[in-house]
Amino acid sequence: MKHAILSMMMAWNLIPAGLPLLAAEPPAGLEVAELSREKPVDFTREILPILRKNCLACHNARDADADLNLETPATIAKGGESGVVVVPGNANKSRLMMHVRQIEKPFMPPRRNKVSAKKLTPRQLGLIKSWIDEGAKGEVAQVAREFNWRPLPFTLKPIYTTAISPDGQYAAAGRGNQIFVYHLPTRRLAARLSDPGLAKGNPAAAVAHRDVVQSLAFSPDGQTLASGGYRVAKLWRRQSPSANELLNLLPGRETVTAIGVALGQARLVVAGSAGGVQAIDLQSTMPLWRDQVPSQAARQLAVSPSGKRVAVLFGDGRVRTWETATGERVTRESSPMATQAVAWLNEQQLVSAHPGGVIKIWAAINPSRVVNEWRPGGDITALAVLPGGGSILVGRADNTSAGQRATSQGDAESVRPMITAAGRVDIGCATEFAAA
């Protein structure tokens, strides 16, 4: 029996060079949307925002990874260390398109990055493809964007910062996006600062900053206040008010009915129709203090020779006196009743006129102590004491005036009368006298 041996031989064929081992398809990469549009793609408005959000953190003029700067069409055309990345008119042959579609490494943006850049969407890829196919043209222009700022909630008024001027006169506080300045001696609101540029024609909406005020500081002279908000610092300079504003410092609708100047102390004192009395610093033009005599209109105001004290005659016929520096009452004792006119004889004594042509000299610290009293007669409406306290002039309702000489005790000696024509003031010299 013959056995047939079947020999099987395995054949190896040499594959010619250049033929692929497998007919594999190229990687698909990220999807690209097909855009249907009539206008060409605008690099500044449409491409640059995509690159700025996802690419420029690593590919800019200051920090260009692989020497590739993607900030402008011109810098993109230059390419990087591996050559050109864009073929104008052919996105499919552009390496930039391969990188952002994540077909060719390195993928852009990297899948792990520190700037939260994300892979591009189909529409974003479609815009980049269309831009390259259209020639990769364009210029970077500054695009003005309109921001609709939302106001802070009305209830959001935290105080994060305060400041006090070096002289201790003012305190500033930031409340939300507003700044309030207070005058410390009088405990009154001096100003609410607002930026006209933020009001947009609506004064009621005026604020100092768009965002919360974070810091405040006064200059060494107290004339300038610096404020800081979100990415903004502002300087506020205090402006001196006009004469009308200065006289209207009495609150409400109170009318100024009497005024006096303490020149030696650089102070102005005003009194009003509702009994308000207020001293004002002439250098800072701000109130120093304020007091009130309820329901009594001020009729006359007299400042002492040194300017350190002020006397005010009110509608009830009584005189009240204050220290001009502090606003403290010299005394709360009642002055002589039914006073018609008042003047300072010296720093410690006052002279006053009363019905029946009576004149009295009394102590400011002790009004009940009448040093002298005499009766020159007539309806006395005005008194004046010349500097030095040695001469006094008495004015009457009949347009006559006379000088008087008084002693510490007994009757005063009349000096020659001085006649004044109606509507004219004639100043005469009165005999000096020594007052106790």
**What residue segments make up the domains of the chain, in order of their start?**
43-133, 162-237, 243-419
- 112 pLDDT exceeds 70? yes
| pLDDT of 415 above 70 | no
E-assigned strands of 197-245?
215-218, 224-229, 232-237
CB 372 within 8 A of CB 360: yes
What dihedral do alpha carbons 198, 202, 208, 210 form, nearest 10°? -50
Q: Return the sign of the alpha-carbon dihedral for residues 70, 76, 78, 80.
A: positive
Lowest mean pLDDT among 146-150, 175-179, 210-214: 146-150
Residue type, 416: R
Is residue 88 packed enough to be buried (19+ CB in 10 Å), middle (13-18) or exposed (0-12)? middle
Say whether pLDDT at 148 is over 90.
no
Q: What is the pLDDT of residue 96?
A: 93
**Cα 52 to Cα 48: distance, rounded to the nearest angstrom:** 6
Query: 76-85: long-range contacts at Cβ-Cβ below 8 A with a sequence spacing of 24 or more?
Result: 76/136, 77/136
Minimal CA–CA distance to 370: which of 349, 354, 389?
349
pTM exceeds 0.75 for this model: no
Pick the CATH number of 243-419 from 3.60.20.10, 3.40.30.10, 3.40.50.1100, 2.130.10.10: 2.130.10.10
Specify burial of residue 156 (Cβ count, 10 A radius: 0-12, 13-18, 19+).
exposed
Distances in whole angstroms, Cα of residue 128 to Cα of each of 89, 92, 97: 12, 11, 8
| Continuous segment of H or E residues that includes residue 344 | strand 341-344
The identity of residue 11, as a single letter, is: A
The per-residue pLDDT for 420 is 38
**Quick one: average pLDDT of 268-295?**
87
Q: How far is CA 371 from CA 187, 350, 409, in A?
A: 39, 10, 7
Asked if 266 contacts 279 with a C-beta cutoff of 8 angstroms, the reply is no
What pLDDT, on the 0 to 100 scale, is given for residue 236? Answer: 94
pLDDT category of residue 218 using cuts at 50, 70 and 90: very high
Exposure string (b/e) for 264-301, b if CB count within 10 Å is 16 or more?
ebebbbbbbbbbbbbbbbeebbbbbbbbebeebbbbbb
Q: Measure the CA–CA gap between 410 and 393, rounded to whole angstroms.
A: 19
Lookup: tokens for 127: 């815009």
Strands lying side by side in the sheet with 349-354: 341-344, 349-354, 358-363, 370-374
Rounded (5°) CA angle 408-414-416 = 145
Q: What pLDDT sits at residue 266? A: 81
